[in-house]
Amino acid sequence: MARVVHKYGGTSVATADHIKRVARRLEACHANGDQVVAVVSAMGKRTDELYALASEITHHPEPREMDVLLSTGEMVTSTLLSMALHELGLDAVSLTGAQAGIRTTAVYGRARISGIQTERMERELEAGRVVIVAGFQGVSEDFDVTTFGRGGSDTTAVALAAALEADRCEIFTDVAGVYTADPRVCSAARPLREIGYEEMLELATTGARVMHARAVEIGELYDVAIRVASSFDDDAPGTLIHGEMTMEQGNKVRGIAHQDHVAKITVRGVPDRPGIAAHLFEPLADAEVSVDTIVQNASVEKLTDMTFTVAPTDLDDALRVVEAVKTELGAAEVVSEPDLGTVSIVGTGMASAPGFAARMFRTLYDQNINVDMISTSDIRITCVISSERVGDAVRSLHDAFELDRED
């Protein structure tokens, strides 16, 4: 008998018929004698609709109320899936994040899991029930409902697999695994058979939304192998994300990630003295604004420019914070640019071989795409470019690095 955690994303549970289909898949798993936990997302675009609904009431919703509102999307799916299993004659129980024992920090909208009390789930599994858990939510110490941020149901699934010491963690989505690039942007992209945690984490943090980055982090930390596969195609093998890469990946880019929209803020004419970066980025961190690419220009006549990118949704908050510290920094002006995007190439082979950056820049240049900012890690190069050229950049880089070829 194996213990398995499945996760079904929004498209896979978009309608009542989809939910019935998922129920039949779980029935097959249960019939195998497996103990089954299923984590579900909100139906279709329900989370977007809940955001839109709140914005009809207010442009500044209370974060606490927002989290309760958003959590209802996954609760609806979990109850309906439990009912669908009952219809098939199976014993099943739906649990909210709180009922599943998922404890989190009290940071609304981006809460982190602090611990999971598994007793209730263990009891239900022992009783032979299929356990359905509402994704992307937990409860703070004060018993307030919290959510994990967009795409966070993957994190629920991997965290439960770790806490329940599951034999398998399978993320079922609307594409056949992790591709070399977003298949909706690049038709030449192909599914990878396997990928290491490190590469997957870089892809996820730079825009490959097929996996929530924090789910990959938890997977690596607790050594949970994660299979990403299509919920619509039972035969496709999908992609295994794990830490025991057997193949020599060698001198290759493994994947390309992109973000269609990022915003850039430049603080101009800052006196170049110790502490300016701290004075700028500490208040941003206090305001929970997460900052991506940061570039500080070489100073000219003891004045420098600081430029950084943020998610477009954080732009207003970031500008408010920066305007407030502008005088203290002695900066001349603050300017922002909203219509940017990013494209990233990722591969562990990059750490040991030169030439990747040159080929990336040449490819973008040949496409007449201007590179606005560059950031790198050992295994990644990211270029900030115009939002409207992101698709062209992904496709031309996919071609230049020959990612359509089998490993």
| Contact residues for Mg ion, defined by CB under 5 A | 9, 151
The reply to whether 138 sits near ligand ASP by the rule CB under 6 A is no
CB 2, min distance to Mg ion, A: 24
Q: Which of residues 138 and 152 has its CB atom nearest to ligand ADP in the complex?
A: 152
Determine which helix (DSSP H) or strand (DSSP E) holds 53, and give its type and residue range. Answer: helix 46-57
Are 263 and 312 a contacting pair, CB within 8 Å? yes
The reply to whether 184 sits near ligand ADP by the rule CB under 6 A is yes
Specify the length of the chain in residues: 407
Report helix, strand or coil for 245: coil
Hey, which residues between 144 and 183 contact ligand ADP (CB under 6 A)?
Answer: 151, 173-175, 178-179, 181-183
CB 304, min distance to ligand ASP, A: 38
Strand order in the sheet with 130-134: 92-95, 130-134, 35-40, 3-8, 168-173, 226-230, 239-242, 194-196
Angle at 213 between CA 211 and CA 216, to 5 degrees: 80
One of 4, 23, 34, 41 touching ligand ADP (CB under 6 A): 41
307 binds, among ligand ASP, ligand ADP, Mg ion, none (CB under 5 to 8 A by kind): none
Number of shown-chain residues binding ligand ADP (CB under 6 A): 19
Q: Which of residues 9 and 97 has its CB atom nearest to Mg ion in the complex?
A: 9
CB 179, min distance to Mg ion, A: 14
Contact stretch for ligand ADP (CB under 6 A) within 5-13, 281-289, 295-303, 345-353: 5-13
Q: In terms of Cα–Cα distance, which of 287, 375, 344, 309 is closest to 110?
A: 287
The reply to whether 359 sits near ligand ASP by the rule CB under 6 A is no
Angle formed by the axes of helices 213-222 and 153-163, nearest 10°: 10
Token code pair at residue 177: 């695994």
The reply to whether 382 sits near ligand ADP by the rule CB under 6 A is no
CB 260, min distance to ligand ADP, A: 11
Angle at 338 between CA 337 and CA 342, to 5 degrees: 100
Hey, which residues between 59 and 98 contact ligand ASP (CB under 6 A)?
Answer: 73
The reply to whether 153 sits near ligand ASP by the rule CB under 6 A is yes
Are 4 and 166 a contacting pair, CB within 8 Å? yes
What's the sign of the alpha-carbon dihedral 339, 67, 161, 40?
A: negative
Positions touching ligand ASP (CB under 6 A) are: 9-10, 41-42, 47, 73, 135-136, 150-153
Positions touching ligand ADP (CB under 6 A) are: 9-12, 41, 151, 173-175, 178-179, 181-184, 208-210, 255
